[in-house]
Every structure is written in C-alpha cells, then in structure tokens.
C-alpha cells in the first residue's frame, strides 16, 4: 500500500520510523524544504512543494498513492487544505494527526493573540528583552515594534526575511529541556516570550519555565486547519492504515 506522509513534525518522523521496514506499506515522507539540513529519515523522502492543490492531486495519481496521512504542524494550514481538496478530488482516504494544544494553567501569564502582527503590538511600547520562539518566516511582523531587543531561536539563519533592527539569533532544534530553558531565559534576562501554541512535549519546557519565572507569554492562536479523520499520534496512524489494508482485503 503506497502512502504519502505530509511531514515536518516529530509525529511524521515517528510514523516514518514505525512504517520503515514494514513490507505492507510503501511510505513516502514529504517535507516542505523549510530547513536546510532536515534530519535523515528511514523512508524515501521527497522535498519541496507540490505546486498547490492541483499539483498534489497530480502527484497522488502519478505515484499511485492509496492513502494520505497529514502529519504537518498545527500552524501549517495551507498544505492541509490542499490535502483535503486533493484527496476528495481523487477519492483517497485522508487522516490527520492532531496534536492537542497546550492549556493555560494556574500561574501562566498568557496574552492570547491571533497573528504575529498582533503579538508585536501586544508587547507594548516600553522597550523589553523578548524571546521569539517562532519560525523565521514569522519574524518580519516584529519590524513594527523596533523598540524591543529580540532574541530569536530558529533552526536555520533567517535568510532574506525583513527583521527588526535589534535582533540576535540562537540556532537550535528541539527537543528542549526545562532546566536549560530556565537558564536560557534567566541568562538572557528575558522579560516576555512570543510563542505558537504548538502543543506536544518537545517545546513545552519554555512555557513551564516562563510560568516558574513569572514571565508573560504572548501566545499566537492556532489557525483553522482542515483535516481528514482525526488521529492522536503516529501509533494511531499505523492502526488506521492497518484497518484500511484489512478493509481493502
Ligand atoms: P503551509 O503554510 O501550510 O504550506 C505552504 C506551502 O508549503 C504549501 O502550500 C506547500 O506548497 C508547501 N508545503 C507545506 N508542507 C509541505 C509538506 N509537508 N510537503 C510538501 N510541501 C509542503 O506550511 P508552513 O506553515 O509553511 O509549514 C511548512 C512545513 O513546515 C510543514 O510541512 C510543517 O509541518 C512544518 N512546520 C511548520 C511549522 C509552523 O509553525 N508553520 C512549525 C514546525 C514545522 P505547494 O502549494 O507548492 O504544494
């Protein structure tokens, strides 16, 4: 059974590991190509966009794909919309791994906003030391609040995105641990964080550290992300594929 996994997340890599070497499935993992050196994967991998929904539809047909798992990040809404449309057009089963959002707990000081632009405004007019835990493509919004000193943690250098004048980069890839996040926030004398509500354990320690240090977190809300059959992780995705296989005889 030929499968397309739309990836770029921990869950997608976990599913690739689960399916690698399983003769029942022939998975291809698809990455957008946002990071310059993605982690090596144990299944065949293709990198780059498909050319919109129509391009994805053609790719599914050309590669005789029998099922699609959308394991993309909660903020990657466009590829998910394309997956829903393309799978509907060629009558393919689609399941989506949905990572639960983090919940605001006692002691958290979250300021919830809808967009990176609103996050920049929510930081206020007084200059502050701000930790931006965002993708590099989200950083341009902070040009509108040039009074702050920003420390941005990204996987790769920002490339040619417009940046606020006072910004420094720390390059790192999760998972992160709580003690190090604590040290990082203290060491950089951070006064506020800006984060997406990514969910999952790999990047949660900064949120827990902010709670302990009583720092505000400007939390950018999740976009509406269309999907197929909702699943809660890679194990559930494998069970869904096994059920499909059994159903098709
Ligand atoms: P997006 O806005 O939903 O997608 C933009 C375009 O990128 C899509 O239309 C598609 O191009 C291409 N694309 C996205 N994911 C792809 C995939 N897995 N394989 C092939 N093409 C893909 O997505 P995004 O927010 O830019 O995120 C890009 C990738 O990074 C996703 O795979 C996601 O899982 C991962 N990621 C995103 C975030 C985040 O905060 N957004 C965080 C961590 C990881 P075409 O229209 O040409 O097909």
Is the Cβ–Cβ distance between 87 and 228 less than 8 Å? yes
- How many Å lie between the centroid of ligand 1 and the Cα of residue 73? 8
- Tell me, yes or no, whether 158 and 242 share the same domain: no
- How many Å lie between the centroid of ligand 1 and the Cα of residue 144? 25
* Confidence band for 1, pLDDT divided at 50, 70 and 90: very high
Mutate to test the pocket of ligand 1, among 50, 79, 224 (most ligand atoms within 8 A of CB): 79
- How many Å lie between the centroid of ligand 1 and the Cα of residue 32? 5
Q: Domain of residue 121: give its range.
A: 109-220
Q: pLDDT for 159-201, tens place per residue?
A: 999 999 999 999 999 899 989 999 999 999 999 999 999 999 9
Is the Cβ–Cβ distance between 156 and 171 less than 8 Å? yes
What average pLDDT does range 115-124 have in this prediction?
A: 98
- Tell me, yes or no, whether 174 and 123 share the same domain: yes
Closest ligand 1 atom, CA of 6?
18
- Tell me, yes or no, whether 136 and 229 share the same domain: no
How far, in Å, CA of 21 to CA of 90, rounded?
28
pTM: 0.94
- Tell me, yes or no, whether 229 and 195 share the same domain: no
How many independent structural domains does the chain possess? 2
H or E segment and range at residue 135: none
Q: Which residues line ligand 1 (CB under 6 A)?
A: 6-9, 30-32, 34, 49-52, 55-56, 72-73, 75-79, 82, 135, 196
Residue 13: Cβ within 10 Å count:
21
- Pick from 18, 1, 33: nearest CA to 231: 18
Q: pLDDT for 98-107, tens place per residue?
A: 999 999 999 9
- Tell me, yes or no, whether 6 and 61 share the same domain: yes
For the CA atoms of 150, 151, 156, 161, the dihedral, rounded to the nearest 10 degrees, stands at 0
Cα dihedral sign for 212, 134, 234, 179? negative
- Tell me, yes or no, whether 35 and 85 share the same domain: yes
Residue 91, by phi and psi: left (phi above 0), alpha (psi -120 to 50) or beta? left
- Tell me, yes or no, whether 215 and 124 share the same domain: yes
Q: Over pLDDT 70: what percentage of the chain?
A: 100
- How many Å lie between the centroid of ligand 1 and the Cα of residue 72? 7
**Average pLDDT of the chain?**
97
Is the peptide bond prior to 204 cis by the omega test (within 30 degrees of 0)? no
Q: pLDDT for 30-49, tens place per residue?
A: 999 998 889 899 999 999 99
Which residue, judged by its Cα, is nearest atom 46 of ligand 1? 52
* Confidence band for 72, pLDDT divided at 50, 70 and 90: very high
- Tell me, yes or no, whether 96 and 115 share the same domain: no
CATH number at residue 171: 3.40.50.720
- Tell me, yes or no, whether 193 and 240 share the same domain: no
- How many Å lie between the centroid of ligand 1 and the Cα of residue 146? 28
* DSSP-based helix, strand, coil % in the chain, nearest 5: 35, 20, 45
How far, in Å, CA of 10 to CA of 8, rounded?
7
Is the Cβ–Cβ distance between 189 and 129 less than 8 Å? yes
- Tell me, yes or no, whether 7 and 45 share the same domain: yes
The residue behind tokens 């920002």 is 158
């Amino acid at each position: 059974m030929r499968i397309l996994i739309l990836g770029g997340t921990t869950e997608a890599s976990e599913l690739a590991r689960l399916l690698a070497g399983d003769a029942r499935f022939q998975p291809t993992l698809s990455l957008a190509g946002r990071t310059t050196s993605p982690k090596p994967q144990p299944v065949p991998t293709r990198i780059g966009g498909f050319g919109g929904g129509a391009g994805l539809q053609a790719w599914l047909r050309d590669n005789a794909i029998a099922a699609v798992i959308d394991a993309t990040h909660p903020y990657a809404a466009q590829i998910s919309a394309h997956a829903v449309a393309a799978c509907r057009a060629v009558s393919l089963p689609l399941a989506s791994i949905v990572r639960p959002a983090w919940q605001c707990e006692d002691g958290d000081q979250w300021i919830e906003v809808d967009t990176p632009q609103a996050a920049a405004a929510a930081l206020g007019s007084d200059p502050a030391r701000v930790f931006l835990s965002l993708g590099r493509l989200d950083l341009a919004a902070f040009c509108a609040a040039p009074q702050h000193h920003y420390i941005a943690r990204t996987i790769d250098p920002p490339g040619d995105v417009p940046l606020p004048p006072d910004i420094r980069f720390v390059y790192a890839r999760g998972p992160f641990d709580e003690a190090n996040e604590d040290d990082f926030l203290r060491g950089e004398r951070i006064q506020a964080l800006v984060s997406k509500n990514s969910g999952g354990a790999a990047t949660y320690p900064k949120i827990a550290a902010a709670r302990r240090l009583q720092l505000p977190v400007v939390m950018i809300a999740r976009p509406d992300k269309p999907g197929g059959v909702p699943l809660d992780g890679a194990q559930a995705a494998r069970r869904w594929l096994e059920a499909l296989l059994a159903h098709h005889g």
